[in-house]
Structure 1
Amino acid sequence: MSIYNNILVVADINHDEQPALARAMQLASKSQSRSHITFFLSIYDFSYDMTSMLSIDERDAMRRGVIHQREQWMTKISEDYTNDSVDFEVKVVWHNRPYEAIIAQVFSGNHDIIIKGTRKHDVLESVIFTPTDWHLLRKSPTPVLLVKNQHWPENSSVLAAVHVASESEAHIGLNDRMVELLQDISTRLEAKPYLVNSYPVTPANITIELPEFDPTTYTDAVRAHHLMSMKALRQKHSMDEEQTVVGQGLPEDVIPEAVNDLNAAMVILGTTGRTGLSAVFIGNTAEHVIDKIDCDVLALKPEGFVSPLDPKTAV
C-alpha cells in the first residue's frame, strides 16, 4: 500500500539546504505509484503593505516581484534534490501567517502530508520547534513530519508509539493507521520498524491508603494486559515480538529511552482528537515526548479530526 504521495514540503527560507525536501524525495522515490511534491513558501513583508506613496497596483507589482524572486531561488536550490521520477512544482504565496497559508494549501491542494524542517541547536544537539511547527502539529488536518537532518542515518529504526491498552475505538483505529504507516515508511527508508508502548507505575499512595493492596500483583497484571494487547496488535499486522517494546513508566520517559536504545531516526506519534476550545492542543503526552527526543517526528491525527482552519467549517 502506498501512503502519502501528494506531498507538501515547506521551504526553509533561511538556508539553501532543505532537509524536508530531501526526506520528501526519499519517500516519494520509493513509492509504489508516482508521487507529486509541492515545494511551498509563505512570505510577507509588512513594509510593502504600508507604503502609502504607492498605488495598490504598484504594491501588487512589488509583491509579485518578490514572489517571483523567491520562486527562482526555490527552483534553483531544488535542482540538487529533484529528479524526473517525481512530479514537482514550486509555489510561493503572500500571507502574514505562515501556518495558515500552509494549512490553506493543504485543503486547496488535497495534500496528504506536510513535511517541514526543524531548527537544530548547534551545542545541545536538540531540536527546537518553532511557533509555526506547533500550530501545524495542533491544527493541520493531515499528518505533519518535522525533519531534523537532511541525511537519513544508516542502520536506523522508525518507532510508532502506540497506545495498546485502550478500548477506545479512536485509539484502536489510530493504532492500526500508525502501524500501517510505520511499515510503509520503514520500507521506503530502509529502516527497522518497532512498536513502543508504556504502562503506568503503581501509584505509591494506593499502598498507603490500602494496606492489603499488593502492588507487585497489580503491576504484574497491568504489564500482562499491555503485553497481551501489544501481541494482538503486532500479530494483526504480521510483526515479530522482537519488534515491540513495552516499558514501565510515563510515555515521555519510555519513548525517548527507546529512541536512544534503538537508534531511532523517526518517531510516529498519535494525537488524540478533541473538540471545542481544547481542539487547538495536540495533547500533553505528545508535547512532552516531542520536547525530549532528537529525531524526526511524525504526528498523526485520528479519524474524524476537524481542523479549526477547515474552510468548510468557517463561519
Structure 2
Amino acid sequence: MRFNNILVVIDPMLETQPSLLRALHLAKQLKKADIRAKLTLFLSLYDFSFEMSAMLSAEERESMHEGIISQKKEWLEELIQQTIPADSGIEIDTTVVWKSRDYEAILEQVKLKNHDLVVKVAKPAEGLDALIFTPTDWQLLRKCPCPILIVKEHEWQPEGRILVAVNVADDEEYHDILNKKLVDASLDLAKVLAAGNIHLATAYPTTPVNMAIDLPEFNPNAYTDSIRGQHLINMKALRQHYCINEDHTHVEEGLPEEVIPQVAEKIKAELVVLGTIGRTGLSAAFLGNTAEHVIGRLNCDVLAIKPDPYELEQMNNSQD
C-alpha cells in the first residue's frame, strides 16, 4: 500500500499541527524511498451566525464566505512557509471550503481528488491516557473510503514498533484477506519509516458464564483450550506467511478493546494498524464497531484501513 496523495486535516484551534508534522515526516521518508507524495492541507470552515443574519443578502453572505476563505488560505500559506522547507521537494497544495459538517467536507474532498490517505489529529483527554475522538473522527472511520491516520502530539521514534490488530477467529476467507491487507500495509510502512519490528495481536473470547451454569457437563477449561488452540494455529499460519517471529505475535484472552491497547502499551507501539468495517445505521447504534472501541482506548497513533468493497460485501452476506 503506497500513499502518494495525502489529505492533511488542519485544526485552526491548535497552536501546532501534529497532523501536518506527521504527514510531512511520512512524505520525507517516502521521498527517500523514491516515492513522490503530494500533501494537501485541508481546512473546513463554518459560522452559523453568518447564515442566520437577516441583515445580509445571499450575495453578501457568499462574499463574506469568500473573504474568510481567502484569509484562511493565506494563513495556510504562512503555515507552510513556517513548517516546510522551501527546498523540501515535496508538492504542497491547500484547500479551504465552507461546510457545516467537517466530516462531509473531508469525504467530498477525498472522493473529488482521489486521496489515498487522510491524516487527522486526535486530542488527548485531560487526565487520561486515551485520546478524545470527536463525532467527525467516528464518521470518518465509518465512511471514509481510504485509510485514515489518526495521530497524537508526539514524534515518531526511530525503530518504533508497529502493532497490527488481526482477526484469526475462523477460516472465513474475507478475514484472511483483510488480515493480509493490514500486514502488507504495515510492512510497507515499516520499510518507509525505518520502523522496528512488526507485531501481530489478536483476542479470543472468554468462556461464556451462562454455558458453564446451564450445562453441567460443559467443561470450561476444555472449551477455552480449544478456542485458544485454534487461534494459535491460525496466528501461526499468518505469521509464517510473513516470516514474523513467534515472539512478535500475541494471542490473548479477552475483548479486543481490552487486549489490543494492553499489548500496544506492553510493546510500546508507536502505531496500531487495524481494520474497520464501518457499520452505519441501526447496526452501528446497537452493535457498534469493534475497531472504534479499540481506538478509543489507545494512546498512540492509529492507522484504520477499510476492507475493499467486495470484502465488505462478503462480510455483509455472512451476517445475513
The runs of 4+ residues in structure 1 deviating greater than 6 Å are: 279-282
Residue 85 of structure 1 aligns to a residue whose secondary structure is coil
**Change over 3 Å in CA distance of 1:96–1:253 after alignment to 2:** same
CA contact (8 A) 2:142 2:277 kept: no
CA contact (8 A) 1:138 1:280 kept: no
Does 2:133 correspond to 1:129? yes
State the alpha-carbon separation in 1 of the partners of residues 287 and 17 from structure 2: 26
Amino acid at match of 1:287: E
Does 2:91 correspond to 1:87? yes
Amino acid at match of 1:214: N
Does 2:73 correspond to 1:74? no
State the alpha-carbon separation in 2 of the partners of residues 74 and 8 from structure 1: 14
Residue 229 of structure 1 aligns to a residue whose secondary structure is helix
Counterpart position of 2:188: 184
Counterpart position of 1:272: 277
Counterpart position of 2:315: none
Q: Percent identity?
A: 46
Deviates more, 1:296-305 or 1:271-280: 271-280
**Change over 3 Å in CA distance of 1:196–1:102 after alignment to 2:** same
Deviates more, 1:82-91 or 1:111-120: 82-91
Match of 1:115 among 113, 119, 122: 119
* Cα drift, residue 206 of structure 1: 2.4
Deviates more, 1:17-26 or 1:204-213: 204-213
- What TM-score, normalized by structure 1, do the two folds share? 0.89
Amino acid at match of 1:102: I
Matches within 5 A, 1:237-252: 237-252=242-257
**Change over 3 Å in CA distance of 1:171–1:75 after alignment to 2:** same
CA contact (8 A) 1:164 1:229 kept: yes
- What TM-score, normalized by structure 2, do the two folds share? 0.87
Deviates more, 1:252-261 or 1:204-213: 204-213
CA contact (8 A) 1:125 1:294 kept: yes
State the alpha-carbon separation in 2 of the partners of residues 273 and 259 from structure 1: 22
Query: Deviations for 1:38-80, whole angstroms, at most 9, x for unmatched residues?
Result: 1000101223334444443333222111111111111212334
State the alpha-carbon separation in 1 of the partners of residues 123 and 310 from structure 2: 28
Counterpart position of 1:46: 48
In structure 1, runs of 5+ residues without a counterpart are 308-315
Residue 83 of structure 2 aligns to a residue whose secondary structure is coil
State the alpha-carbon separation in 1 of the partners of residues 210 and 268 from structure 2: 36
**Change over 3 Å in CA distance of 1:152–1:282 after alignment to 2:** farther
Does 2:25 correspond to 1:26? yes
Residue 260 of structure 1 aligns to a residue whose secondary structure is helix
Matches within 5 A, 1:134-213: 134-192=138-196, 193-213=198-218
In structure 2, runs of 5+ residues without a counterpart are 313-320
Residue 79 of structure 1 aligns to a residue whose secondary structure is helix
* Cα drift, residue 274 of structure 1: 4.7
Which of the pair is proportionally richer in helix? Answer: 2
**Change over 3 Å in CA distance of 1:173–1:102 after alignment to 2:** same
**Change over 3 Å in CA distance of 1:9–1:290 after alignment to 2:** same
**Change over 3 Å in CA distance of 1:222–1:15 after alignment to 2:** same
Counterpart position of 2:61: 59
State the alpha-carbon separation in 2 of the partners of residues 65 and 115 from structure 1: 27
Residue 30 of structure 1 aligns to a residue whose secondary structure is helix
State the alpha-carbon separation in 2 of the partners of residues 234 and 39 from structure 1: 37
State the alpha-carbon separation in 2 of the partners of residues 159 and 283 from structure 1: 23
Between the two proteins, the alignment pairs up a number of residues equal to 306
Deviates more, 1:248-257 or 1:73-82: 73-82
Does 2:13 correspond to 1:14? yes
CA contact (8 A) 2:147 2:303 kept: yes
CA contact (8 A) 2:138 2:292 kept: no
State the alpha-carbon separation in 2 of the partners of residues 198 and 144 from structure 1: 23
Amino acid at match of 2:174: A
* Cα drift, residue 276 of structure 1: 6.5
